[in-house]
Amino acid sequence: MIEIEQHNDVAVVRWRDGENRFNRASVDRWHAVLDELEATDGPLAVVLTGEGKFFSNGLDLDSFADDPESAGPVIADVQRLFGRMLLFPAYTVAALNGHTFAAGAMLACCVDARVMRSDRGYWCLPEVDLGLPLTPPMFAAVTARLSTATAAEAMNTGHRYSADEALHAGIVDAIATESEVLGIAMERAARIAPKDRKVIAAHKRMMFSDVATICGYEPLS
């Protein structure tokens, strides 16, 4: 279940599917949510968050094992989601309420700012331990904002970053306790929501249009 909760000019997108894994149903819902938000007129900023101990645990590999033919199309749509988030025409913040792994960590790289829960949860790219190299679109999404040194360490070691380590590495912009992480993310979003969305969108296109194209996303305008 992925729901939009409106708080004045801030839309909180809350993912409530347990480990919040990407499968056919969840990625379709993500794109529908972005369709709805993109059609919103006026001031807007968006906060992404999960529930409980997971922000997102990445791809739903169990569903792919049950239906191998679904893997390719679902992964392609997840990668397209990364491109959409990079170019989303409003300011975006992730409130990382818990474990942020694999494709969930990649999604977090595609928003404008990240606030991570300080007392529980890790940010991690575990593909090196799973024997699953990042695809070129995944690599492009991860390196769109992370420094080369941080991306190399994260991808090639599979290190599980605590909140303090993630802040030091530049993976997140702020850390907060469980009770504060969403509120701080919403405060950050609310400060930017009144600013000109057309200008924000133009700047994002200048910065990230090449990455979005690699991810398979070409905006209509």
CB 77 within 8 Å of CB 27: yes
Q: Which two tokens stand for residue 207?
A: 């910065």
**Catalytic site residue from 127, 178, 187, 218:** 127
55: burial class by Cβ within 10 Å (0-12, 13-18, 19+)?
buried
Q: Strand ranges (DSSP E) for the chain?
A: 2-7, 10-15, 21-22, 45-49, 54-56, 58-59, 91-96, 99-101, 113-117, 123-124, 174-176
- Residue 127 known to be catalytic: yes
Q: Are 65 and 177 in contact (CB under 8 A)?
A: no
> Amino acid identity, residue 36?
E
**Non-local CB neighbours of 122 within 8 Å, separated by 6+ positions:** 99, 100, 101, 160, 161, 162
Query: Which of 129, 91, 128, 121 is closest to 104 using CA atoms?
Result: 121
DSSP strands (E only) in 89-187: 91-96, 99-101, 113-117, 123-124, 174-176
Q: Which amino acids are annotated catalytic?
A: 127
